[in-house]
């Protein structure tokens, strides 16, 4: 029972974070720097990535792509999404250091993941 309760609490916190990020509330971006929001932000990134993949997979099914090619395409898309978000975080971190700032890399990664909150609606992307 505790597992279900903690999962529901995580999802509640995740949807609160998504709502605040979509409304561009400063509080959520400041709070993202603390480790307390690590799990909700990672959950947000997983939901956003899954939503994008579902939206893209609809196009594959409509075009009658064979299942094995569809699976390969989705795996490649997962890898490209992760690499893309990691590159964003690394570049932002490097630029900040070039300007003399000392941001923590994990905070930069959390902010990049949080900035992808609109992709939870990626299921509606049909291209």
Helix, strand, coil: what percent of the chain each, to 5?
85, 0, 15
Tokens representing 114 are: 């949080």
CA–CA distances in Å: residue 64 to residues 16, 45, 60, 73, 106: 38, 29, 6, 13, 41
With contact defined as beta carbons under 8 Å apart, do 29 and 115 qualify? no
Could you tell me which of 57, 49, 117 has the C-alpha nearest to residue 79? 49
With contact defined as beta carbons under 8 Å apart, do 49 and 81 qualify? yes
- Indicate the pTM of the whole model: 0.82
Chunk the chain into consecutive blocks of 10 residues (it has 127) and report each block's average pLDDT, rounded to whole numbers.
88 92 90 87 89 84 85 87 92 95 90 91 79
Alpha-carbon gap, residue 27 to 31, rounded angstroms: 6
Query: Which pLDDT belongs to residue 127?
Result: 59
Query: Which pLDDT belongs to residue 55?
Result: 85
**Hey, where are the domains in the chain?**
2-124
């Amino acid at each position: 029972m505790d597992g279900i309760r903690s999962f529901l609490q995580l999802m509640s916190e995740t949807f609160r974070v998504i709502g605040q990020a979509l409304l561009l509330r400063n509080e959520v971006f400041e709070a993202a720097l603390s480790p307390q929001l690590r799990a909700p932000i990672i959950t947000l990134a997983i939901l956003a990535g899954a939503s994008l993949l579902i939206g893209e997979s609809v196009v594959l099914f409509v075009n009658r792509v064979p299942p094995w090619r569809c699976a390969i395409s989705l795996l490649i898309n997962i890898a490209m999404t992760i690499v893309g978000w990691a590159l964003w975080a690394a570049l932002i971190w490097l630029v900040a250091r070039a300007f003399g700032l000392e941001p923590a890399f994990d905070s930069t990664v959390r902010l990049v993941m949080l900035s992808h909150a609109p992709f939870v609606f990626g299921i509606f992307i049909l291209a």
